[in-house]
Structure 1
Amino acid sequence: MNTSASYEYSYLTFLKQFPVFILLLVCFQLIGITCSLIYSQAELFLWVNRLHDPMADQIFMLITHLGDWPVTVAIAFIFLFINWRHSFLLVSTMLYTGFFTQVIKMIVKHPRPAVFFEHGEAIYTIKDYVLQNSLSFPSGHTTCIFSLTITLSYIFVSQRRQPWFFLIALLVALSRVYLSQHFFKDLLAGSLIGTFFALHLIWLFERSEWFHKKNTNSNLLEFLKKGKKPVS
């Protein structure tokens, strides 16, 4: 199969396949940037920090785990039984976006809220909930969840004009501020990296001939069935 004609399109053209997700992300960025120009990151953090509620504490402590890398790995494992290519995409985009996130973290070395406010205004913390103290920018959980949801948007074509994947990612991102783990700027950066770096990698794969071969669209069950066929 010659893919040079079928899959040679620009990255910008590829992005147009995800109008709702990207539109909502742009709105989120504009609101975040506008608020950051009016208020300091400390003021924005403290505004959220004063909104704590016991029930919300439990909900956000649960939701935030969707941004843990094992969740992506677990979903990728499930896709081994559905489609090799999609399983590979989920792990690849997670590693690709995670790599750039960790590099930026090591360069910036911005303190987490727990350290930032250590000698200043007292902040609300959830009892027995462990707070991180270093490498705040950008948010790794936010990067991971946006990478996961935009990759799932690619996989489930019917959902590309629906807001649900973005809203899930947004809730996980906001949980990081609510749980006193990050500042808003960490979320803004993480959502951009997770979305556009993941899409960039998928676009690169889309342009590769191997990505469209029949074997990459197989799955573990088909592989096992082939292995059980009697030799004639």
Structure 2
Amino acid sequence: MIEVVSFDVWNTLLDLQYFYEVIGEVLSRKFVKMSQDKIVEKIREKHNLLKKLKIEGKVEDSDIVEYSLKELSKGFGITVEDLTSAINTAMDEVDPNRLVIGGVRTVLERLRVSGVKMGILGNVLFWHSGVTKNLLMRGDILKFFQVSFFADEIGFSKPDPRAFAKVSETFNVAPDKIAHVGDSLREDVGGALISGLVAVGILKEFKENVRIEGQLYIVNSIAEVPEIILSLR
């Protein structure tokens, strides 16, 4: 029986592409002589490169934000301070209703009413967890979660089993009574499975849903998550 559900944040609850677009607009307006589209393209390229370096073990969890900021700012020819300022400005200027993925509030409310306990388990890259928490609060969804765990706070990034263990330890619930929901096949689905949790992947690249009862569920939309969780209650 599932008692706890942990959620990834970016592209699960919040729209990462949209936030990158807001950051791109701020950078173009204040710091970089480049079009917003080009800036966003460069951010995405650096995002993918840094993820690859992380997988290869070339960047430590404890250094990921500082390293990522340094690399991205270097690519734009600006200081880390200017880049951080742009991210903070974007945080203030973002439209919360566009940032929160459609259907998320309904899903979280339905799970809360059912009595499921919920937490956040998130990685970090270009900004510390304080920015993400602020955005979750502005989007009026932080209130649904009893706890939050971010890599810069706990020292481990998904898919490290030690990250998932924090959820189990904090709620004092066995791993097989926890379902983790996320959009990354490696970080969320793979990490949850090797840690003994039930994995629910929101993977739009899969043309058909996958269902291995009590272990693995692949769906195309977060709207499908409540039915899965409630069927495991």
Q: Normalising to structure 1: TM-score of the pair? A: 0.26
More strand by share: 2
Q: Normalising to structure 2: TM-score of the pair? A: 0.26
The structure having more radius of gyration, on CA atoms, is 1
